[in-house]
Amino acid sequence: MTIPPDAEARRAVKPVICYPNETLPKPDMALYARALAGAEVTGTVIAPPREAGVFEVPAGHFFRIRSVEGPQVGDLNLWNAQDISERFYSGKTRALHGTHVSAGERLWSSFPNLRPMATIVEDTLGWYGIDQYGGSVHDVIGTRCDPYTGNLLAGSQYHHCCHSNLTRALARHLGVSTAEAEPHVHDVLNVFMCTGFTRDTGQYFMKASPVRPGDHLTFFAEIDLLGALSACPGGDCSAEHSSDEAACYPLEIEILAPEPGALEGWQSPQRSGYDRSHGL
């Protein structure tokens, strides 16, 4: 390999943000906070250790993911409950908000819809920030642990990874086969997981999550949602993410309904206004 004489000058070029987000529609966080303050729990779903739980949230309601017994991370999928072809788009969420998300940021849906599905309104791990290794929590960079990659890298045939858990849970909920459900399982929001990229090799890393029992991440449902959450077999992902050896705990999902009239003036977001008649 030959290093060009102007190598340092090329590296020194300043970066440009690909998707400046100052023009994104701003959520009314004060309205959501007032509505959440008077909201009541209407249902609870448990994602058992090394399994997934499915839940539904009407538009204008909240859902809260909570650590209840021990440090545990979870993989979250979201779909439009009325049309599951519209689903959470982690890559575009990452492009718009960054590698990790927190309160005030939104989970965006797939093309051609591209609208907010859910807004994060509370994050008890918001204090963590970015650590000395470049790690942070609630990432939209990891795909999900899956049996295909496990087989590729280690020849394993493990079926309690998050991809498998989400597939089985969705299949049960929809009353379809796992083969029919699997194409709907998609890249996730890694709830509570602490991750980043190594400085020297650019590899995706994980480290022990700072989550503790009582910590939670609360969302406002912008549209009718169908959700699935897998309690990752890696527990807090301090050492591994696809085995039966790590300590693993359940995660709780609460559904909360605001008081009547608490969201006066709020409207569910419309689908993208891009006119496809101009061509794709």
In terms of C-beta density within 10 A (0-12 exposed, 13-18 middle, 19 or more buried), how is residue 7 classed?
A: exposed
Nearest to 219 by CA among 117, 114, 118: 118
pLDDT of residue 242: 83
pLDDT of residue 275: 87
- Residues linked to residue 120 through DSSP beta bridges, in sequence order: 219
- CA 251/CA 49 separation, integer angstroms: 8
128-178: pLDDT as tens digits: 999 999 999 999 999 999 999 999 999 999 999 999 999 999 999 999 999
Sign (positive/negative) of CA torsion 249, 91, 22, 19? positive
In percent, how much of the chain has pLDDT > 90? 96
Site of tokens 């997981």: 193
31-67: pLDDT as tens digits: 999 999 999 999 999 999 999 999 999 999 999 999 9
Site of tokens 């849906």: 109
Per-residue pLDDT at 253 exceeds 90? yes
Site of tokens 């399994």: 51
Per-residue pLDDT at 260 exceeds 90? yes
What are the CA-CA distances from residue 244 to residues 46, 176, 241, 247 (Å)?
A: 19, 27, 9, 8
The mean pLDDT of the chain is 96
pLDDT band of 73, cuts 50, 70, 90: very high
pLDDT of residue 190: 98
In percent, how much of the chain has pLDDT > 70? 100
Quick check: 108 and 96 in contact, CB under 8 A?
yes
Token pair belonging to 39: 């909201």
Quick check: 213 and 70 in contact, CB under 8 A?
yes
Nearest to 201 by CA among 133, 140, 131: 133
pLDDT band of 241, cuts 50, 70, 90: confident
Quick check: 210 and 123 in contact, CB under 8 A?
no
Could you tell me which residue, 80 or 278, shows the higher pLDDT? 80
pLDDT of residue 278: 79
Per-residue pLDDT at 109 exceeds 90? yes
pLDDT band of 269, cuts 50, 70, 90: very high
194-229: pLDDT as tens digits: 999 999 999 999 999 999 999 999 999 999 999 999
DSSP string, 149-170: HHHHHH------SHHHHHHHHH
pLDDT of residue 280: 73
Per-residue pLDDT at 8 exceeds 90? yes
Tell me what the mean pLDDT of segment 65-82 comes to.
Answer: 98
**Residue ranges in the chain assigned as alpha helix (H):** 7-11, 29-37, 90-97, 147-154, 162-174, 178-181
pLDDT of residue 243: 83
- CA 166/CA 168 separation, integer angstroms: 6
